[in-house]
Amino acid sequence: MTVERAHYPQATPIEAYGNGGFRFAGMSHRGSIMALPDGISAWDADTPHTLTPDDFDLLAGTDDRPEILLLGTGPDIAFVDDGVRAHLRGLGIGVDVMSTGAAVRTYNVLLAEDRSVGAALIAVS
């Protein structure tokens, strides 16, 4: 049996966050997400301290990479390994690390401005 990753097939604003998940396009998702120009997908990350370049395989596997990735690290801004930053730079993606709430708000503004933006968002309670 093949299990497919949950995926919403277009970029859309994030309507709400908290309670362990996100709401977008009138739907709810429990857990972390990665919002990219080609859609929003479930993301297995749950803490910023254990992130590795492999956690960003969705970015490596798409031709529609954002120019900037907002990395929401949970309720507070947290340190992210330099290897992760270097990996993203190697893909041609700038990264800005902030709390998940700040990342959601910034993502929505940049998306409304039709900018090339993505967000990797760790869910918060």
Structurally, how many domains does the chain consist of? 1
Angle at 119 between CA 116 and CA 122, to 5 degrees: 180
Evaluate whether residue 14 is within a structural domain. Answer: no
Is 102 part of a structural domain of the chain? yes
pLDDT given at position 4: 57
Q: Which residues pair with 69 in a beta bridge?
A: 95, 118
Under a CB-based contact definition with an 8 Å cutoff, are residues 72 and 121 in contact? yes
Tell me what the mean pLDDT of segment 85-106 comes to. Answer: 97
Taking the C-alpha atoms of residue 101 and residue 76, their distance in angstroms, rounded to an integer, is 9
- The answer to the question of residue 18 being in a domain is no
Residue 3 lies in a domain: no
pLDDT in tens, 18-60: 999 999 999 999 999 999 999 999 999 999 999 999 999 999 8
In a domain, 72, yes or no: yes
Determine the Cα angle at 24 with ends 98 and 77, to 5°: 10
Instruction: Let me know if residue 79 belongs to a domain.
Output: yes
Domain presence at residue 69:
yes
- Full residue range of the structural domain in which residue 53 is found: 31-121
Q: What is the pLDDT of residue 96?
A: 97
Q: Does any domain span residue 24? A: no
